[in-house]
Amino acid sequence: MISLPAGVRIYLALEPCDMRRGFDGLALMVQQSLGKDPFAGHLYIFRGKGAGRLKILYADQNGMCLFAKRLERGRFVWPMTRTPGGSVVLTPAELSLLLEGLEWRQTLPARGPSVAG
């Protein structure tokens, strides 16, 4: 697992995206769809339409990083939404569960994921 610096927020994009997108395409999605700054030092997580692949975009002081993961079996657990666009903020523990393909949405039922605008 990647060690996250203090203060890093983890944004989970609610809408699926084209997994052929690279650094520039995903950075553009962060700006346009999520209304965030891709160079702010936060993690931005995107999934493909089939939910078997995801990509994480992260910018540090040296440049941008793009991480990808594909599940051999199963699908990544994603929140259901009726509104287009937007994101959900995750904790590092929820990110760990998500990356393993496990159910993370019910880990903290009292808090629940907070929707970011």
How much is the pLDDT for 38?
96
How much is the pLDDT for 109?
46
- 67 contacts: CB under 8 Å, gap ≥ 6: 2, 55, 56, 58
Helices (H), the chain: 23-32, 92-99
Whether residue 5 lies inside any domain: the answer is no
- Tell me the pTM: 0.83
pLDDT tens, N- to C-terminus, the chain (117 residues)? 567 788 899 999 998 999 999 999 999 999 999 999 999 999 999 999 888 999 999 998 899 999 999 999 888 888 876 666 788 899 888 888 888 888 777 654 444 445 555
Q: How many CB atoms lie within 10 A of CB 69?
A: 16
How much is the pLDDT for 116?
55
Domain range for 61 is 10-116
Whether residue 88 lies inside any domain: the answer is yes
How much is the pLDDT for 34?
92
Whether residue 31 lies inside any domain: the answer is yes
Whether residue 1 lies inside any domain: the answer is no
d(CA 108, CA 70): 26
Whether residue 37 lies inside any domain: the answer is yes
Whether residue 76 lies inside any domain: the answer is yes
Task: Count the domains in the chain.
Answer: 1
Burial class (CB in 10 A: 0-12, 13-18, 19+), 64: middle
Whether residue 35 lies inside any domain: the answer is yes
